[in-house]
Structure 1
Amino acid sequence: MAFAALAECFSAFAPSSLKTYSSLRSPDDVEILILGSGWTGTFLIPLLKENGVSFAATSRSGSGGTIKFAFDLDSESSDAFEVLPNAKTVVIVFPIYEKGGSEKLTKSYLETHPESSPLFVQLGSTGIWNGDRTFQPDEKKRSIWYDRHSPYNPTNKRALAEDELLALHPQVKATVLELCGLWGGSRSMRNYVDRVAPTKEALKARGSIHLIHGIDVARAILAVHNEPEKAVNNRWLVTDGRVYDWWDLASAWGTGGADGKDKPLRGPQPGWVRELMDEEGIRALPRTPEQLGNALDSREFWNTFNLSPAKARVE
């Protein structure tokens, strides 16, 4: 599922809780600056506190102790960036779609923070590989497996903005974390069954889905912050290491949503799955990657940073 712009949800944090300090250049410096933190921040901020990492976060409203900040590509001034602190790592949570956006953001920050030379971390979407199923760069070399080195859709607007960011190297240090389906906290994948499979025909067309929990998104961000030399000038594909089958999930969950966990199944989807298995000759679930026709391989990220997903299977 595409990685969309994230809603602000910081009302639970008191103003005094959003910034901690360490021995940096000045009391206002932070190790990590989170631009547009939202849902991601609900996992990243507790992890940074737990590890004693100083941080600051922004939002459009400036509520809950965040810094009021909005990125305006059309602005000719970089004055809006002056309210931001110096940082070792700048995490760009919101997506950038417009040409020139990545260059404008990084240039504006560096111009207003001449003492900083941060690692810019853009959160992206694995949809640049599998979001457009019609994109096949070479039918003769077509594979069901994609990794971070696989050809991606060169016309995808997010991919274009990310390419622009990475092309600024070595003047700008940057990396991109391409994330798949986000779950955890306020996001339960169980709530999506009725949306993605409202009919048997819709369910029939559903294949694979890849997921990552918010805790592991936060851990991935902290990992590249801690070892920027490994991260810089790279685009990473980040999943929990599994290929999920929508038929399997719909059969196991039904339409009860998050509230239906550990309760009798609701909805027609489990019955539709049984019918589809008979019709398609599927003997057991989940279907194999070959049967699903699409699979993402994220091993290189976890191996490079010597991590394993903390939430390695959707609940």
Structure 2
Amino acid sequence: MQISKSVDEGAYEGVGLLVLGAGWTSTFLIPLLKSEQIKYAATTRDGRDDTIQFKFDPKSSDAGPFEMLPIAKTVLITFPLQGEGQAKHLVRMYESTHQKPGRSKPHFIQLGATSIWTAPKWQDESSPYEHADSRAIAEDELMACSEGAVLNLAGLYGNARQPRDWVDRVVKSKSDLKGKGALHVIHGEDVARAVVALHRNFTPKKRWLLCDMHVYDWWDLVQDWAIQTLRSAEVGVGQVDTSTAKVERQTELLNWVGELMLEEGVRALPRDTSSLGRTLDGRGFWKTMGIWPTQGRIR
């Protein structure tokens, strides 16, 4: 559970971590920053909840919004930067409004997505990625212009955001389910721990792949969640939606999984990892930081 420490949190002026875009991730990150006694500041578009009102406009050269931001050891960018120019513009605007002789330049961390890795089988942070992807272009630019680091995140979950709620969005037909192979996720608490670890042990010009080190089988998950709902309906307890429509939907999903297993010659679930298509090896970041995910398997 311990987060590796190598930064003296009181050895510099300003804040330790500046969070540009205090959204869902910050609900896990800010409590951790408080418990770890890391001085921080955060921004939102409307300045809610004691944050700084800030909106990044990649087409504006107005220094005013940046002048309102504090000096920071690490600047975390939670919103996506796209294509060429945006990362360079953000870095230039922040540094030009905060740089003074003798002051160290800040470390920049960008949160990204693991979708830039598109190889059909195993891949890690050193694997080839889609260089033409608009987010990958911006990440490459950030690393080049500021020696920043990138955390590419698997599917985010935690609190009200739960993977089982994604099923109705991504599986609308039996054909949709047939095409579902591996699912990779990372809990918000482990994202927060990763950010703090990278703040304290920064890796310049490095892109990391962040997941919980599990490969989940969509068929296995859909079957398990369907069974949970149907059992809750039978006994009439629990907080799971057990309406008639929900029960019918879960019965349909359960039947689809069984039919697909017969049709595809799958003898047992979960399927072998080699049959799930694109799979992510997330060990590198955790090994380098000397910590490991704490949230276990999704249920």
- Using structure 1 for the length normalisation, give the TM-score: 0.83
1:276 alignment counterpart: 260
> Structure 1: where are the runs of 5+ without partners?
1-21, 131-135, 137-142
Q: Secondary structure at the residue paired with 1:39?
A: coil
2:6 alignment counterpart: none
1:278 maps to a residue whose letter is L
Indicate conservation of the 8 Å contact 1:206/1:246, yes or no. Answer: yes
Equivalent residues in 2 for 1:288-299, closer than 5 Å: 288-299=272-283
Aligned-pair distance for 1:302? 0.7
Aligned partner of 2:129 among 152, 162, 165: 152
1:4 alignment counterpart: none
- Using structure 2 for the length normalisation, give the TM-score: 0.87
1:99 maps to a residue whose letter is E
Cα distance between partner residues in 2 of 1:120 and 1:226: 12
1:76 alignment counterpart: 61
Q: Secondary structure at the residue paired with 1:275?
A: helix
Q: Secondary structure at the residue paired with 2:95?
A: helix
1:201 alignment counterpart: 175
Cα distance between partner residues in 2 of 1:262 and 1:95: 37
Cα distance between partner residues in 1 of 2:25 and 2:17: 14
Aligned-pair distance for 1:268? 1.3
> Structure 2: where are the runs of 5+ without partners?
1-8, 231-237
Pair 298,150 (structure 1): closer, same or farther in 2 beyond 3 Å: same
Asked if 1:125 corresponds to 2:113, the answer is yes
Cα distance between partner residues in 1 of 2:239 and 2:266: 30
2:186 alignment counterpart: 212
Aligned-pair distance for 1:25? 4.6
Cα distance between partner residues in 2 of 1:252 and 1:153: 34
2:240 alignment counterpart: 260
Indicate conservation of the 8 Å contact 1:179/1:212, yes or no. Answer: yes
1:188 alignment counterpart: 162
Q: Secondary structure at the residue paired with 2:25?
A: helix
2:212 maps to a residue whose letter is D
2:138 alignment counterpart: 161
> Which deviations, in whole Å up to 9, do the C-alpha atoms of 1:19-56 show, x marking residues without a partner?
xxx74554xx1100000020000000000111111100
Residue identity (%): 46
1:251 alignment counterpart: 223
Aligned-pair distance for 1:89? 0.6
Report the number of matched residues.
276
Q: Secondary structure at the residue paired with 1:81?
A: helix
45-54 or 254-263, which deviates more: 254-263
2:17 maps to a residue whose letter is I
Cα distance between partner residues in 2 of 1:128 and 1:295: 13
Indicate conservation of the 8 Å contact 2:12/2:73, yes or no. Answer: no
**Considering only aligned residues, what root-mean-square deviation do their CA atoms show, in Å?**
2.2
Indicate conservation of the 8 Å contact 1:128/1:156, yes or no. Answer: yes
1:53 alignment counterpart: 38
Aligned-pair distance for 1:261? 8.5
Aligned-pair distance for 1:77? 2.5
Aligned-pair distance for 1:150? 0.7
> Which deviations, in whole Å up to 9, do the C-alpha atoms of 1:139-167 show, x marking residues without a partner?
xxxx6101111111111000000011111
Indicate conservation of the 8 Å contact 2:76/2:109, yes or no. Answer: yes
Which structure carries more relative contact order (alpha carbon 8 Å, separation 6+)?
2
